[in-house]
Amino acid sequence: MAENGRRATLSRTRVIGAAVGLADTDGAEALTMRRLGRELGVEAMALYNHVGGKDDLLDAMVESAAEEIVTPEDGTPWRAYARGRALSAHAVMLRHPWLPALWTSRLAVGPARMRYMDGALRSLREAGFPPGLLDRTYHAVENHIIGHAMQAAGFPLDEAEMREAAEPLLRSPALEPYPDLIAHIRHHRDTPPGDDAFAFGLDLILDGVERLLAAS
């Protein structure tokens, strides 16, 4: 038997979990069938008994991450629902920097992701959104989540690294013609992420939508 078997050292769940962990700590480019096998004490080809191949593994990782997103309970007012689900999705994407790129590039969509999408759409519909506004609202929020996560994943520096990286950059003569860019880098050096930047953009969108909904 596959799924229990007392001493079944390998399983689909374990393979996917190890893949997620490996990509989390060492980056998506370190996720290699051979390397993943090594991590699990097994040869690469052994993994093929549990996943269909690397593509299947990547899809399963996305699905597994989608399951981590917590969705407000049914009946939550649309704005709180959208805000809660966006903040949770955002947190998941920060935990898994490899996620936004896979999220948008893989066309296979599993049940967790379908549930995630369906819940968001239902919440808006039940709030009385007309179809056009509903669709645009959904996508505006989704774009914000993905955009922020992509930018964050591409600049994976904590506060100390930020300070450290900023200094030599600021002295670079290549930057000299761009004073506002210099000021921007200084601003980021002095004010650590704090992450309210995500909520700021999100609320901008939700405020605007609220007004449009009221006007409709």
Partner DNA sequence: CCCCCGCTATTTACGCCGTAAATATTTACG
Partner DNA sequence: CGTAAATATTTACGGCGTAAATAGCGGGGG
Q: Which residues bind a second copy (CB under 8 A)?
A: 100-101, 104-107, 111, 114-115, 117-118, 121-122, 125, 131, 135-136, 138-140, 142-148, 150-151, 153-155, 174-175, 177-181, 183-184, 187-188, 191, 197, 200-201, 203-205, 207-209
Q: Does 187 bind DNA (CB under 7 A)?
A: no
Q: Identify which of residues 38 and 122 has a Cβ nearer to DNA in the complex.
A: 38
First-to-last C-alpha distance (Å) of the chain: 58
Could you tell which of DNA, a second copy, none binds residue 55, using a CB distance below 5 to 8 A set by kind?
DNA
Q: Does 108 bind DNA (CB under 7 A)?
A: no
- The 8-class DSSP code of residue 73 comes to P
Choose, by CB under 7 A, the member of 1, 107, 214, 215 that binds DNA. Answer: 1
Site string for DNA, 28-47 (x = CB under 7 A): ---xxxxx-x----xxxxx-
Could you tell which of a second copy, DNA, none binds residue 183, using a CB distance below 5 to 8 A set by kind?
a second copy
Question: 128-131 long-range contacts, Cβ below 8 Å, gap at least 24?
Answer: 128/213, 129/78, 129/213, 130/216
Q: Identify which of residues 35 and 115 has a Cβ nearer to DNA in the complex.
A: 35
Q: Does 54 bind DNA (CB under 7 A)?
A: yes
Angstrom distance (rounded) from CA 62 to CA 146: 14
84 within 8 A of 71, measured Cβ to Cβ? yes
Angstrom distance (rounded) from CA 136 to CA 141: 9
Angstrom distance (rounded) from CA 11 to CA 211: 50
Number of alpha carbons in the 13 Å side-chain half-sphere of residue 153: 25
Angstrom distance (rounded) from CA 17 to CA 128: 40
Q: Identify which of residues 15 and 99 has a Cβ nearer to a second copy in the complex.
A: 99
**Interacting residues toward DNA by CB under 7 A:** 1-2, 5-10, 31-35, 37, 42-46, 48-50, 53-55
